[in-house]
Amino acid sequence: MSSQPATPQRRITAPDIAAKKGVEPIVSLTAYHAHTAALADKYCDFLLVGDSLGMVMHGYETTVPVPLELMIMHGKAVVRGARRALIVVDMPFGSYEESPSVAFRNAARVMKETDCGAVKLEGGRRMAETIRYLVDRGIPVMAHIGLTPQSINVLGGFKVQGRTDAQWAALEADAQAVADAGAFSVVLEAIPAPLAERITRSIAIPTIGIGASADCDGQILVMEDMLGLSPRVPKFVKKYGTIGEQIEGAIRDYAEEVKQRAFPAVEHTYAMSATQAAAQKAAVAPNSAAKPRK
Ligand code: KIV
């Protein structure tokens, strides 16, 4: 047996992610729970505790109602489940837009309470000052531009962005602004592939595509979407599994077996102790052990 103590796993950091640009594709998924985080940890460079959890797990129509406390609760679970991947926690709507100092207070709370390695926030040029403020004070920031779901009420729906010349130019400027402000990476969501490619070539930080293009420096998907657990998914999702069907099939079989009294079977039940068994036997046939009378 080796007397060497096991080397503790070093967690991937935000600078490690930034350093992957031009070196190797960055793999990431969302994660909301400890058990799925543990499964994804080996394969992903970072796991995002996305505020999409409000829609995927909690049944909200949009991400707008998601409270900070919910992000912290799921953030803690994911940090406990994964030992290697960088954990990035989304700042929910209303927790950072007001001012850099409000953003710092809430982002610091997320970092302290979850022990995550970075936060993500939505917005380009309008958030540049805040990104700079957070980074200068020790909080690594991932930016998110293109389709920014927290702005759904302004955008008027989950629509592809960057399809007009004005939007295209605005998104290029947004990407440059968040990179200049010190973000360590930027999510590009639902934008035309040529725009994603152009931004990826023009900025110094990694782009993480979701509905963008294979030219991005990395990719992210909502785990439940790619597993086939979400009932409806956007066009950009490729389903790598049929977990929803498997879960429903298992529940259907269970319900049927309960109704048929086929579950639990003997192997799923507990036997009584030998003493209890002897006592029961004696109670059922009290004279059986006595000597027969002549
Ligand atoms: O909330 C989320 O899951 C996200 C990803 C889709 C990038 O922001």
Average pLDDT over residues 223-230: 97
Q: Is the pLDDT of residue 177 over 80?
A: yes
Could you tell me if residue 57 is inside a domain? yes
**Predicted confidence (pLDDT) per residue in 278-288, tens digit:** 999 999 876 65
Q: Is the pLDDT of residue 8 over 70?
A: no
Average pLDDT over residues 234-238: 95
**Predicted confidence (pLDDT) per residue in 126-135, tens digit:** 999 999 999 9
Average pLDDT over residues 46-62: 97
Residues 252 and 229 in one domain: no
Q: How many CB atoms lie within 10 A of CB 245?
A: 11
Residues 233 and 108 in one domain: yes
Q: What is residue 185's predicted lDDT score, i.e. its pLDDT?
A: 98
Our count of domains for the chain comes to: 2
Substitution candidate for ligand 1 out of 220, 225, 227, 229 with most atoms within 8 A of CB: 220
* Ligand 1 close to Cβ of residue 122 (< 6 A): no
State yes or no: is 189 an active-site residue: yes
Q: Is the pLDDT of residue 262 over 90?
A: yes
Percent pLDDT > 90 in the chain is: 92
Residue of minimum CA distance from atom 8 in ligand 1: 50
Q: What is residue 5's predicted lDDT score, i.e. its pLDDT?
A: 66
Q: Is the pLDDT of residue 57 over 90?
A: yes
Residues 139 and 265 in one domain: no
Average pLDDT over residues 233-260: 97
C-alpha span between 117 and 137 (Å, rounded): 14
Q: What is residue 9's predicted lDDT score, i.e. its pLDDT?
A: 77
Measured in Å, residue 248 CA sits from the centre of ligand 1 at 26
Q: Which domain holds residue 265?
A: 248-283
Residues 202 and 59 in one domain: yes
Could you tell me if residue 291 is inside a domain? no
**Residue 178 is part of a domain; what is its CATH number?**
3.20.20.60
Q: What is residue 126's predicted lDDT score, i.e. its pLDDT?
A: 98
Query: Tokens for 203?
Result: 């900025």
Measured in Å, residue 207 CA sits from the centre of ligand 1 at 14
Average pLDDT over residues 38-44: 98
